[in-house]
Amino acid sequence: MKRKRIVAAKLGNGHIGLIEQDVPPLRPGTVLVQVHNSLISPGTELGGWRGLRRELAEPKPLPEPLPFGYSNSGVVLEAGEGVQAFKPGDRVACIGAGYAQHTNYAVVPQNLCVPLPEGVSFAQGAYAHLSATSLNGLRRGQPEFGEFVAVLGLGVVGQLTAQLYQLAGNYVIGWDRIGFRLDVARMWGIHAAVNVDEQDPVAATAAFTAGQGLDAAVLAFGGDADQAVKTVEKCLKCAPDTHPMGRIVALGGPRFLYTSTLTNVDVRRASRTGPGYHDPAWESGADYPAVFVRWTSRDNVAVCIRLMAEGRLNVNCLTTHVISLPDVDAGISAIINDPDRILGVLFQMQH
């Protein structure tokens, strides 16, 4: 059986293409999925391609075409030995680099799949990985009901994170410098949204918290975050001894100095979907005892899918582009130079 797989072109110039190859063998503990939709990572994938296209004078040849992707959804065609949770015909959302890729047929370990209810579309299910990443970031932040939280960066992960914090009973203010992203956040109902290029985020956040200061902040972006953290520090609640207090969750790939002025601030890293992911034995079915590990990657995905089914986690408003499988390079080329108008980009595998 053959499949089509979206890959970075061998020329290494930021373009992508299709290759045809054999579908991987069905190993014990895995399922074969006919993929309907997959979600592009707007930061690591689109950002990487855009950067390479700027370097066309000096392309970086790849030894082999490079596959990518880690979040898709579809229908189970076959279940491997030892799989009891799924059968042919089941609708599923799948996660995992190396498994839930941009392809029309994928072989995925069973614990990296969750059932997709009839009320949740394949397009919605393709948000599984980034939704679970956002939820795991929330769990790492340990929010308490009624707290004030700032989410810095309203890309796909930032939007999902802000929604989940509000669902957890927090008051959320979003910071970004791209008007389109702020408009999307206002559309789904964020409590407050600030364009940091047009408005002082310190003053806006002080007003939002009625002078109490933030309990927590989430850095949902990559790259240099030194200035962002310095600004957040001014917005955190402050003890009578003048020390800022609260929590900072580094959810994207931010880089910043942990200075002496952050002494009483908890800094927490969160960069995966939850426990189990990257443990091959767990992924294929060797589960952890729930009494010790309540929220695995699979559990986090399942909660997010349930919230979508209940209409409480809105991913529809995040989808800005849908590109069909035969048109992958033309479709990406048409949008890649307008990053400020891009959020969720879906590949459509089936017609």
Tens digits of pLDDT across the chain (351 residues): 999 999 887 666 778 889 999 999 999 999 999 999 999 987 778 877 777 676 655 666 767 778 889 999 999 999 999 999 999 999 999 999 999 999 999 999 999 999 999 999 999 999 999 999 999 999 999 999 999 999 999 999 999 999 999 999 999 999 999 999 999 999 999 999 999 999 999 999 999 999 999 999 999 999 999 999 999 999 999 999 999 999 999 997 899 998 888 889 999 999 899 999 999 999 999 999 999 999 999 999 999 999 999 999 999 999 999 999 999 999 998 988 888 999 999 999 976
List 95's β-bridge partners, or say none: 71
Q: Which of 345, 344, 36, 298 is nearest to 160 (CA)?
A: 344
The three-point CA angle 328-40-117 to 5° equals 110
Cα radius of gyration rounded to whole Å, the chain = 21
Q: Which domains does the chain have, with CATH numbers?
A: 2-127+275-348 (3.90.180.10), 143-269 (3.40.50.720)
- pLDDT given at position 119: 94
- The sign of the torsion formed by the CA atoms of 325, 331, 336, 342 equals negative
Contact assessment for residue 16 and residue 329, using Cβ atoms and an 8 Å cutoff? yes
pLDDT score at 337: 83
Take residue 7 and report the two structure tokens written for it.
């890959």
Whole-structure pTM value: 0.95
Per-residue CA distances from 209 to 60, 122, 150, 333 (Å): 48, 38, 10, 42
Q: What is the pLDDT of residue 173?
A: 98
What DSSP designation does 164 have? Answer: H
The pLDDT of residue 44 is 75
Measured torsion, CA atoms of residues 159, 51, 49, 128, in degrees rounded to the nearest 10: -20
Residue at token pair 């408009």? 183
**Pairing verdict, β 254-255 and 344-348:** unpaired
Q: How far apart are the C-alpha atoms of 317 and 289, rounded to whole Å?
A: 36
Cβ atoms < 10 Å from Cβ of 129: 29
18 forms beta bridges with 6
Q: How far is CA 164 from the centre of its chain?
A: 13
**Run of H or E including 224:** strand 223-224
The pLDDT assigned to 338 comes to: 87
Beta carbons of 279 and 296 less than 8 angstroms apart: no
